[in-house]
Amino acid sequence: MSELHKFIFEGLPVRGMLVRLTDAWQDILARRAANSETGAYPAPVRQLLGEMAAAGVLMQGNIKFNGALVLQIFGDGPVKLGVVEVQPDLSLRATCTQVGEVADNATLSQMVNVNNEGRCAITLDPQDRLPGQQPYQGVVPLFGDRGEKLENISEVLEHYMLQSEQLDTVMVLAADDKVAAGLLIQRLPIESEGNLAGKTDSLLRESVLGQSEDFSRISILTKSLKREELLGLDAETILHRLYCEEPLARFEPFIGETGPRFACRCNRERVGNMIRSLGSEEVEGIIAEQGQVEVGCDFCGAQYRFDPVDAAGLFTGLPPDLPAGSVH
């Protein structure tokens, strides 16, 4: 079963999380493979989307926010769009849109940053968003500090964390056809400066320096984790191997009903709203050509069919969200 583990390093301003998506990830892949129009993801696309899915759960698990976290990559190569959406209850869905061939050994930049126009966006969409209120969105390019193209989505997201939250973050991500997994370590902001007010400047500096050394040591341990280990070992083994000398304190894991799991939020009403937004002329054109309007959900593969009567019903003039029974 898919699982998320949270932990802290006792007495040190460092926290961490480990996610392993197994059934949830296999569900996403199986739905894609069953789509007769697209077929299964090629291996490099699968790795990208799996790493994004693991990262999305880590980022949602890391914030106190009542809303969806949406991680998107907008590509200018054969991969046009990758989307991972994680809800506060850790249910998630993910999809990738690919146009054209992806080589078996394609790198991140060959898939999404061919012409230097690839972007990664992180959106926080509040659950109780007011009409007209915009979700918060941060966008980061796929380049490092020296202008080099980044080849790991983990590096892109580490940059984002540093820019948007001013938090030093180390992320290790990996995905194959069975598992999408990630490990995140983050240096917590120093909030104890008030407590140190009585101390001299040099003591304060020493204290901050000490904390920074702790983070460096834990980062090095974290980065030593190999892809095969992250994919092949269980959470207990990984944490024990990496941090057996560190004062690790674990929280109750999120697993099963509280853990990460696949869930799609599509439904007939939302699809109807989307069709309505095309306008009656466009929809009549589709009906004339195809006899019905058929829309497939990219996330779960569900097919929604609107025959001419259903489609006409979308344009009867009722307000979109008003259930028919409530009209007086």
Using the Cα atoms of residue 16, residue 22, residue 24 and residue 25 in order, give the sign of their dihedral: positive
Is residue 167 exposed (0-12), middle (13-18) or buried (19+ Cβ within 10 Å)?
middle
CA dist 241 and 252 (Å) reads 20
Q: Which long-range contacts (CB under 8 A, 24 or more apart) does 27-34 make?
A: 27/262, 28/53, 28/93, 28/94, 28/95, 28/262, 29/177, 31/299, 31/300, 31/301, 32/95, 32/301, 34/301
- Is residue 271 involved in binding Zn ion (CB under 5 A)? no
Q: Is residue 300 within the footprint of Zn ion (CB under 5 A)?
A: yes
Q: Residues 206-245 vs Zn ion: string with x where CB under 5 A?
A: ----------------------------------------
Q: Does 111 bind Zn ion (CB under 5 A)?
A: no
In this chain, which stretch among 24-32, 42-50, 162-170, 260-268 interacts with Zn ion, using CB under 5 A?
260-268
In terms of CB distance, is 122 or 297 closer to Zn ion?
Answer: 297
Residue type (1 letter), 289: E
Please tell me whether residue 83 adopts helix, strand or coil conformation: strand
Q: Given candidates 48, 238, 266, 275, which one binds Zn ion under the rule CB under 5 A?
A: 266
Q: How far apart are CA 234 and CA 256, in angstroms?
A: 16
| Residue 297 contacts Zn ion per CB under 5 A | yes
Give which of 17, 154, 145, 4 is closest to 73, Cα–Cα: 154
Is residue 14 at the binding interface for Zn ion, with CB under 5 A as the rule?
Answer: no
Check residue 174 for interaction with Zn ion (CB under 5 A).
Answer: no
Which residue in 180, 264, 283, 311 binds Zn ion (CB under 5 A)?
264
- Is residue 28 near Zn ion by the rule CB under 5 A? no
CB closer to Zn ion out of 40 and 231: 40
The answer to whether 160 contacts Zn ion (rule: CB under 5 A) is no
Among the listed ranges 25-33, 51-59, 115-123, 299-307, the one in contact with Zn ion (CB under 5 A) is: 299-307
By CB under 5 A, the residues from 46 to 105 that bind Zn ion are none
The vertex-322 CA angle with 316 and 83, nearest 5°, equals 95
Which residues contact Zn ion by CB under 5 A? 264, 266, 297, 299-300, 302
